[in-house]
Amino acid sequence: MIDDKAANNQTKLFRTHCLRPHASNLPRCYTDDPKLTLNECVLRAFNEIRPIASNGIEDIGLPPINPLIIPEIFMHLDTSMANFTVTVFNYTVGGMNNYDIKDFQYDSETMTYRFRIEFETVPMSGSIKINGHIINVPIVGNAYANCAF
């Protein structure tokens, strides 16, 4: 069980790190709100910020999410059966602003979050470079990938 002082510290931590006070256009959630549980408030807040999240929210460090562009992703596998490197350039993910948060749960004892989020179609694309081998078969190439989920 969490004592009042620990709960108060967690409330301050949540307010400070999750909903920064200087982000005036964002909804606020408090653990001691008598009208809404924290989980209900955060769920509502995520869905309320959807229109402004698309272009990013600089006050909280959220980059633009439609599209979300990751300049470079690097992956390397080195095992006895396979040794290769895959690099994806300009990895672009669209549709991230078409989300719907269906469930949100905050556990104050472990300070962890669990949530279920659903997206409409999420198109992804990027340039891929691969170099290495799998079972001594060389794998080398460049490609452009475009897919949707």
Q: What is the pLDDT of residues 114-141, one digit of tens each?
A: 999 898 899 999 999 999 999 999 999 9
- d(CA 87, CA 142) in angstroms, rounded, equals 10
pLDDT tens-digit map of 64-112: 888 999 999 999 999 999 999 999 999 999 998 888 888 888 888 898 9
Answer whether 123's CB lies under 8 Å from 98's CB.
no
The per-residue pLDDT for 23 is: 62
pLDDT tens-digit map of 15-58: 444 444 456 677 888 778 888 888 888 888 888 888 888 888 88
The per-residue pLDDT for 24 is: 65
Task: Report the 3 state secondary structure along the chain.
Answer: CCCHHHHHHHHHHHHHHCCCCCCCCCCCCCCCCCCCCHHHHHHHHHHHCHHHHCCCEHHHCECCCCCEEEEEEEEEEECCCEEEEEEEEEEEECCCCCEEEEEEEEECCCCEEEEEEEECCCEEEEEEEEEEEECCEEEEEEEEEEEEC
b vs e for 77-89, b when ≥16 Cβ sit within 10 Å of the residue's Cβ?
eeeeeeebeebbe
The per-residue pLDDT for 106 is: 86
pLDDT at 9 over 50: no
Mean pLDDT of 1-15: 42
Domain boundaries of the chain, sorted by first residue: 4-148
Name the residue with higher pLDDT: 99 or 2. Answer: 99
Question: Which pTM does this prediction carry?
Answer: 0.65
